[in-house]
Structure 1
Amino acid sequence: MAIGQSYGTSGGLRLANNDQGRMLGLTVQQRIEKGLTIEGIIQSDFSYNTTAHAILERHRPLLTKRLNYYYGAGVSMGIEESRQKVPESMQIIQTYGNGTLGVDLIGGVELTLLGINFSLDYKPNINIVGREPWYSGQVGISARSVLVKGNKQNKKKRQRNRQKRRANQDGFFHNLIDSIKNK
């Protein structure tokens, strides 16, 4: 079975757009096991909205491990503006500096070429506390530099596992010898 994603760690910039405007951010992805990453995003519109997101993502190949789609979910928090419509008075009450907490979903495609990872995604946010409206969707484009290649991360993991197996085997043999000596 082919597993999507050809990198271990990547970091770069994210440009995003939603109903309120455009945001610029930093994004870092870390593979935690085959086909599974955690992504951290910090983004701002440099006026009223700044948010941080932690998202767990599952990656699947489309044609190759360098071209894949992904989906996931996570949490977000930040300081955002809120627009609340009051139908009775036909007013819109807008407040700034609201502490927010929400749930993120994400779905997208990514391509890794020449040490650069490009992605296009849709990231809906369901706000739990602090903002009206309760739902906001965001389209994002990210360009990340591959900091650790997937094969290098896999090699280090295999080396650690070998060392653990050797230590366990050595411990087993030492225990066996000790038990024979004590008889």
Structure 2
Amino acid sequence: MFSPGKRNDIIRELTLLENPNAEISGDTTLNPVGSKLDTSESVGKEYGVSKGSVVRLIRINKLIDELKALVDSGELSIRAGVELSFLSEDTQAVVAECAEDCKIDMKKAKMLRASADDEGNIEHHIIESIISGEDGEAKPKPKSVKISNETYTKYFSEGVKAKEITETIEKALAFYFENMEEN
């Protein structure tokens, strides 16, 4: 207040670095170099939990009571609860209603958070479609095919690159299916 524009904290720290035995006037909250005051870490140590757990539990406190009850009962995971805590209270209320019929896993919670606007709001029908699983069609997974070592060595020598092998197989399959259509 008495010296506006001056960074007294930096001046104090530089003084301590130059002369660790120097006496600094005034109230100081300086820590040794390399250490940092971290409330969540110190609380975690005090209660025997990790820093991340403390942060998640604080975030869970932003949930409405109905969703907190689901977290407490284990029906909603803590991490899914954290994702939902970024939604507005009105949206959380709709989610809680929908959660009575369907389980909300981490994937659905992330989709809900991603669908929210800047204020944390989502339209009712979007919430229902995400939670019920009607948000998109199930995409079939492509099948993976393995070629035995015997077949591989029969057609390809050791120095052939994977890209060349893929191109050769694609050309062979295209040729095969073109000729199958003609028969």
| TM-score bin, normalised by smaller chain | under 0.3
- Greater relative contact order (Cα < 8 A, sep 6+): 1
Bigger Rg over Cα: 2
More helix by proportion, 1 or 2?
2
Q: Normalization by structure 2: what TM-score? A: 0.18
